[in-house]
Chains A and B, each alone.
Chain A
Amino acid sequence: MKYQSQKVAYAYFLAAMALFGIQVLGGLLLGWIYVSPNTLSEVLPFNIVRMIHTNALIVWLLLGFFGAAYYLVPEESEREIFSVKLAYIQLAILVVGTLGAVGSYLVGIHGGREFLEQPLWVKFGILVAAVIFLVNVSLTFLAGRKTAITNILMMGLWLLCLLWIFAFINPDNLSLDKMYWWMVVHLWVEATWELVMAAILGFLMLKLTGVDREVIEKWLYIIVATALFSGILGTGHHFYWIGTPGYWQWIGSIFSTFEVVPFFAMMSFAFVMVWKGRKNHPNKAALLWSLGSSTVAFFGAGVWGFLHTLHGVNFYTHGTQITAAHGHLAFYGAYVALNLAMFTYAMPILRGRDPYNQVLNMASFWLMTGGMAFMTFTLTFAGTIQTHMQRIVGDYFMDVQDQLGLFYLMRFGSGIAVVLGALLFIYSMLVVRREVVKPGPVAVPGE
């Protein structure tokens, strides 16, 4: 750790991992309700658990991004953070807001726009925290060295905070409500978050592979250019059936086809850099998560996204388990795994004890990734059957769902693997002090 103020990232990562635990446990409960629908149906109904599952995910990913920014900006800008105190105040607001939101969900107080259910005071809290964050990192950034990594990171963070304004705009007209709702939801995950992802991935590649900064930064600009060129008009794939004009079917289909490009580019980037760099960085686990993240993001966001994005296909698959399959793998690959890559890289440095246990961490990667892949396959099969029975044949929703029990049972099984993987990850980060497997001798490379 070069700068003392980077230490604030540690607190952010801890809070993020705690929420990660809550998120996957909520997910496991939801998976069980699919299998055994009477579970807790009177005390804790499905809709409340789902709010906790999705909100916890979003907040912990954001906490991870904020923590990553506090870790990365000092190192790139070559100076301490403007105010460590502000960073902790920001975290306190976010933690209080999150606990407040979960508490009010449990007693039945919540909004009704998907993912934006937070009570108004929590939304304002998030806004205040975002402003504090932007002031804090921007002043650090402006006073120091500017690199492509921080340029792109700052741009992504500024835009995502500005888009939060749309969380307060809820028109009475349902179709307008839906259209502006996507300005937060889509333009976060398929535009601004991609900038943050690319910047963090670029930083990790710089540290782990030792490739020349010039090369990495040129790649980064190309990646984020393809992300925004495709992602902004790619919003159109959400405007097919909500009352928006028909031309979105063509704009959405064409531009969301291009949305595969930035994810393919990020995957290629990661592998090419590792190949070119040949640096023998001791943190193998961070490298695994970085490569894994870009690869799974390509499949989850790129391939599974493309699978149902053409409007002729989406007409039949929209709002089925196909969407759920895509959502799970895309979020896991692009944002969960990327955050875990950053944690894996930074935590040993923040805690001043590398080397640390990498073997358990890598085991957790395969457990979680295997679980998510299996979950995606089962939901894709369930969605395919659902699409045929419900959308082609015209059978009623619940009749179709009754036929999908086996897939939901298998999905629950894969959920157990994911939860075990997540707990193993947290354990390997926080508890284990020694390596369980001794590293072999370093071989002298032969000519």
Chain B
Amino acid sequence: MSEFLTKSRARNVFYGGSIFFVVVFVALTAQSHRHIVDKATAGMPLTDEVVLGKHVWERNSCINCHTLHGEGAYFAPEVGNVMTRWGVLDDPEGAYEMLDGWMAAQPSGIEGRRQMPHFEITEEEMRGLAEFLRWADQTDTQNWPPNDAG
């Protein structure tokens, strides 16, 4: 093997092969981009309200306790399907009220219980956050999570 696979051959295999895989990856990524926009997230329009909600989600760093589509911090429940769990997936007003009520009750202060902080969120922002979570819940995630528990 050592005679056939010289250092320069190994180097050429490395460079050539890497370029090949980069090209394949870029092509698949472009196709996935189209798939996400046209199919997977087409269930509900990406309104200004949803975008506002995403910014609220980011500004308060919810991802560093919760998971969203399974990605995040594993310290608090999955929220990619929270609107399904609450039974308000198709009810914007109900979604807002549930979320607003839940957030207003935090932190619970119960001893030995994980505490969700208090967040300063206006009504408009809270409606946006509820719409964002409804929007995320309608994404085609290949049937993940396995059940409503998330």
A→B interface (CB under 8 Å):
34, 36-38, 41-42, 45-48, 50-51, 110-114, 117, 148, 151, 172-179, 214, 217-218, 221-222, 224-225, 228-229, 232-233, 235, 239-246, 248-249, 251, 315-316, 318-321, 323-324, 390-392, 394-398, 401
Contacts and interface: CB of A to CB of B under 8 A. Distances in A.
Given A117-B61, A222-B10, A240-B144, A176 B33 contact: yes
A245 B148 CA distance: 22
B64 A398 contact: no
B149 A391 contact: yes
B35 A244 contact: yes
A397 B78 contact: yes
Given A315-B146, A394-B149, A396-B149, A37 B25 contact: no
Contacts of B146: 315-316, 391-392
Contact of B147 (A243, A391, A398): A391
Interface string B62-88: 111101111111111110000000000
A318 B68 CA distance: 11
Contacts of B50: 172
Nearest to A245: B35
8 smallest beta-carbon distances between A and B, as pairs: A112-B58, A319-B70, A47-B64, A241-B144, A41-B115, A221-B10, A243-B40, A397-B77
A173 B11 contact: no
Contact of A175 (B36, B65, B147): B36
B25 A179 contact: no
Given A41-B107, A148-B11, A251-B28, A394 B148 contact: yes
Given A41-B115, A390-B149, 4 more contacts: A38-B112, A111-B61, A112-B55, A225-B13
Nearest to A110: B61
Contacts of B77: 396-398
B92 interface: no
Interface of B: 2, 5-7, 10-11, 13-14, 17-18, 21-22, 24-25, 28-29, 31-33, 35-37, 40-41, 46, 50-51, 54-55, 57-65, 67-78, 107, 109, 111-115, 117, 132, 135-136, 139-142, 144-150
A214 B18 CA distance: 22
Main secondary structure of the interface of A (DSSP, over half): helix
14 contacts: A37-B113, A38-B111, A45-B65, A112-B58, A173-B41, A176-B37, A228-B14, A232-B25, A243-B139, A243-B140, A251-B28, A318-B144, A319-B74, A397-B78
A233 B26 CA distance: 10
A50 B29 contact: no
B18 A113 contact: no
A212 B76 CA distance: 52
Contacts of B78: 319, 397
A38 B112 CA distance: 6
Contacts, number: 200
B136 A174 contact: yes
Given A232-B25, A251-B28, A390-B149, A240 B142 contact: yes
A176 to B, nearest CB: 6
Nearest to A311: B142
B144 A315 contact: yes
Given A51-B64, A243-B41, A315-B144, A179 B21 contact: no
A365 B145 CA distance: 39
A242 B141 contact: yes
A103 B60 CA distance: 16
A38 B149 CA distance: 24
Contacts of B70: 241, 318-319
B98 to A, nearest CB: 16
B21 A114 contact: no
B7 A397 contact: no
Contacts of B144: 240-241, 315, 318
Most A Cβ at <10 Å: residue of B14, B69, B148, B150: B14
Contacts of A36: 112
Contacts of A111: 58, 61
Given A42-B107, A241-B69, A225 B21 contact: no
A172 B46 contact: yes
